[in-house]
């Protein structure tokens, strides 16, 4: 728009005519290229969806049919595969995952927002050091800490408990969560807290009554990102949890596979059950998830 | 007195986070470094000091060499697919031609990102299965059965089969990051280019690429760092096999520590992983300015 208003278009009105002529030519060309690109996009969508569709369809099949009729729909729909999967262990993995995920979320949101509050409201040398300490946590990765964490958790008597997962998940999710929440807190107008102080609001009151309610969107982002991480985490849940009763879904599925041997339909049903919560989360809270992933730019 | 009480609040609010990070993130990193100089096993309480012997062993470790080569293959292929392919995909999706269908496709491409790696890996063990696998059945269907092979059981193809699965799962993630970056490009840049009669390809190279350069750089670093750490995919699909053909640094470390019970040497491998990834992470933090005041 701005370009059209400059003197250039007055000086050179023929360029508009040329532009229009060019357009009709490119219209035809772009129709062809549009269809080529569309086919490409749909083809890629097919590559992404087909394995998942196959997983879903095959979860209703018997072993024989999975083995012999890879592509076909089930001749008999074995809905009982889901009941078997649920009762043979998936239910316990599911609730373990749910417990670990919910507690991780609560702790991350509480502990993280408190730290973010301090970091956004105060400016001293020590606050800066604390900020660097927390951002530095982003550089550390669980793989490197695996063996010492195993020792520390053994020493704390937490190995083979859900707390081994919850505490370590919280620790590794805090840096990103604090950075996201702090950035949001910094955008809250200072006048709000000043008037709150005049009204006699305590420090805790400002955090609890002003900052938290105003920050619901970023807190939802934090919840979604944490849920995604805790629900899918594999390494810690494999190494720190030994007993099958305590395993979460990602590590539980491995044991499930070994126990089932060839009962593939049931295994696939278990895999579908494990995936459903996250797909629902994606469809419902896409906006918050994308925001967090892009602002954090750190792979879970 | 009052002044001191006020100063207590920021400390109390920060303390839990600092404790979490100190105990479960920083102390383990330091401890891992010290562990590299000791010989110990999971259950023994005693650690025997052996100096830098394990670091010297690293230099002669054949498995380590294979692992590192695999990590590099992982990184190179991932950068090509997850960064370059994802950028093209994001550009096409953001084109106004596909405004109606793009939101649906975005969600579809993102679904694999959300699904647990163990589900994905189990699913791909069905796809790669030599007897009934989808991949071989598909090749048979289109008359290319000569290409069918036991993808995971073959020492040459195993690591590529693992890498291919990662691409399938992660392209949607990087695409999403590019989409966000492309949406931030001022629209009048494209409008001006339209008036100049620039085609799609010119606009891509002259506007989109320069404008998302920073995101591109960050995405390269994320992908490379992720490739250096990769554990779940090879561990579940092949456990490093057949032989050591699809081993990666993290799988090597895990096996040394928890299978072969050589914790000290495993720690030395972990220290190596730390050094490699810390370099990339430092660059990333410097470039992306994470945590800077907006």
**Closest partner CB to A171 (pick from B11, B21, B282):** B21
Number of domains in chain B: 1
Among residues B27, B52, B32, which one has the least CA distance to residue B275? B32
Average of per-residue pLDDT across B273-292? 74
- State the DSSP H helix or E strand holding residue B38, giving kind and residue range, or none if neither: strand B38-39
Interchain CB distance below 8 Å, B118 and A250: yes
Give residue B192's domain range. 51-286
Among residues A49, A55, A69, A52, which one has the least CA distance to residue A265? A55
Residue B209 lies in a domain: yes
Closest Cα of chain A to B88: distance in Å? 11
CA distances from A53 to A78, B35, B108 (A): 16, 47, 12
pLDDT of amino acid B269: 94
Residue B265 lies in a domain: yes
- Residue A199: HSE in the Cβ half-sphere, 13 Å Cα cutoff: 11
Listed in order, strand segments (DSSP E) in B58-106 are: none
Residues of B in contact with A232 (CB under 8 A): 115-117
- Judged against a pLDDT cut of 60, whether residue A151 lies above it is answered with yes
Residue B24 lies in a domain: no
| Distance separating alpha carbons of residues A81 and A91, to the nearest angstrom | 13
pLDDT of amino acid A36: 87
pLDDT of amino acid B183: 86
B234 part of contact set with chain A, CB < 8 Å: no
CATH number of the domain within which B120 lies: 1.10.3720.10
Interchain CB distance below 8 Å, A171 and B20: yes
CA distances from B153 to A187, B129, B131 (A): 55, 9, 12
Interchain CB distance below 8 Å, A249 and B191: no
pLDDT of amino acid B289: 58
Closest Cα of chain B to A246: distance in Å? 17
- Judged against a pLDDT cut of 70, whether residue A143 lies above it is answered with yes
Residue B39 lies in a domain: no
Residue B22 lies in a domain: no
- Confidence at B8, pLDDT banded by 50, 70, 90: confident
Residue B43 lies in a domain: no
Interchain CB distance below 8 Å, A186 and B111: no
Residues of A in contact with B195 (CB under 8 A): 3-4, 15, 19
Fold category of A82-296 in CATH: MetI-like fold (1.10.3720)
Residue B205 lies in a domain: yes
Residue B194 lies in a domain: yes
| Distance separating alpha carbons of residues B262 and B59, to the nearest angstrom | 17
- Per-residue pLDDT tens over the stretch B162-212: 999 999 999 998 898 898 888 888 888 888 888 888 888 888 998 899 888
Which has the minimum average pLDDT: A16-25, A216-225, A236-245, B121-130?
A16-25
- Per-residue pLDDT tens over the stretch B122-167: 999 999 988 888 888 888 888 887 888 888 888 899 999 999 999 9
Complex ipTM value: 0.86
């Amino acid at each position: 728009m701005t370009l059209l208003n400059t003197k250039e278009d007055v000086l050179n009105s023929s360029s508009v005519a040329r532009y229009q002529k060019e357009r009709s030519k490119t219209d035809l060309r772009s129709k062809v290229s549009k269809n080529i690109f569309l086919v490409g996009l749909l083809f890629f969508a097919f590559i992404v969806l087909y394995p998942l569709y196959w997983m879903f369809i095959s979860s209703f099949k018997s072993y024989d049919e999975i083995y012999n009729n890879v592509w076909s729909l089930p001749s008999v729909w074995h809905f009982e595969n889901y009941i078997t999967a649920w009762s043979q262990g998936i239910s316990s993995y599911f609730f373990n995952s749910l417990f670990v995920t919910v507690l991780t979320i609560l702790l991350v949101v509480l502990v993280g927002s408190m730290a973010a509050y301090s970091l956004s409201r105060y400016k001293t040398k020590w606050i800066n050091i604390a900020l660097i300490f927390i951002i530095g946590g982003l550089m550390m990765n669980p793989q490197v800490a695996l063996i010492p964490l195993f020792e520390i958790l053994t020493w704390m008597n937490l190995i083979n408990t859900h707390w081994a997962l919850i505490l370590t998940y919280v620790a590794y999710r805090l840096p990103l969560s604090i950075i996201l929440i702090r950035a949001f807190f910094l955008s809250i107008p200072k006048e709000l807290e000043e008037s709150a102080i005049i009204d006699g609001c305590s420090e805790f009151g400002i955090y609890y009554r002003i900052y938290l309610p105003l920050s619901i969107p970023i807190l939802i982002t934090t919840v979604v990102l944490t849920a995604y991480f805790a629900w899918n985490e594999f390494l810690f849940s494999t190494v720190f949890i030994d007993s099958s009763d305590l395993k979460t879904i990602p590590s539980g599925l491995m044991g499930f596979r070994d126990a089932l041997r060839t009962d593939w339909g049931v295994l696939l049903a278990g895999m579908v059950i494990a995936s459903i919560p996250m797909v629902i989360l994606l469809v419902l809270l896409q906006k918050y998830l994308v925001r967090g992933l892009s602002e954090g730019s750190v792979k879970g | 007195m009052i002044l001191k009480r006020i100063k207590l609040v920021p400390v109390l609010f920060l303390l839990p986070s600092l404790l979490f990070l100190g105990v479960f993130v920083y102390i383990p990193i330091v401890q891992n470094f010290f562990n590299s100089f000791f010989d110990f096993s999971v259950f023994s309480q005693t650690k025997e000091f052996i100096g830098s012997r394990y670091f010297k062993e690293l230099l002669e470790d054949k498995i380590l060499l294979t692992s590192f080569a695999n990590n590099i293959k992982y990184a190179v292929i991932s950068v090509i697919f997850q960064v370059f392919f994802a950028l093209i995909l994001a550009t096409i999706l953001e084109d106004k031609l596909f405004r109606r269908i793009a939101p649906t496709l975005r969600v579809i491409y993102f679904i694999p990102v959300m699904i647990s790696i163990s589900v994905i890996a189990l699913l791909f063990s069905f796809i790669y299965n030599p007897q009934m696998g989808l991949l071989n059945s598909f090749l048979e269907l289109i008359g290319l059965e000569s290409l069918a092979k036991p993808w995971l059981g073959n020492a040459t193809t195993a690591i590529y089969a693992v890498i291919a699965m990662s691409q399938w799962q992660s392209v949607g993630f990087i695409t999403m990051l590019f989409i966000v970056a492309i949406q931030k490009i001022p629209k009048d840049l494209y409008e001006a280019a339209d008036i100049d009669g620039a085609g799609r390809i010119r606009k891509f190279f002259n506007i989109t690429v320069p404008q998302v350069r920073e995101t591109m750089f960050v995405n390269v670093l994320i992908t490379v760092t992720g490739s250096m750490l990769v554990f779940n995919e090879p561990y579940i699909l092949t456990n490093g096999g057949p032989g050591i053909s699809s081993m990666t640094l993290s799988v090597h470390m895990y096996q040394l520590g928890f299978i072969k019970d050589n914790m000290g040497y495993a720690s030395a491998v972990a220290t190596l992983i730390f050094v490699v990834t810390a370099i990339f992470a430092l660059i990333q933090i410097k470039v992306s300015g994470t945590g800077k005041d907006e």
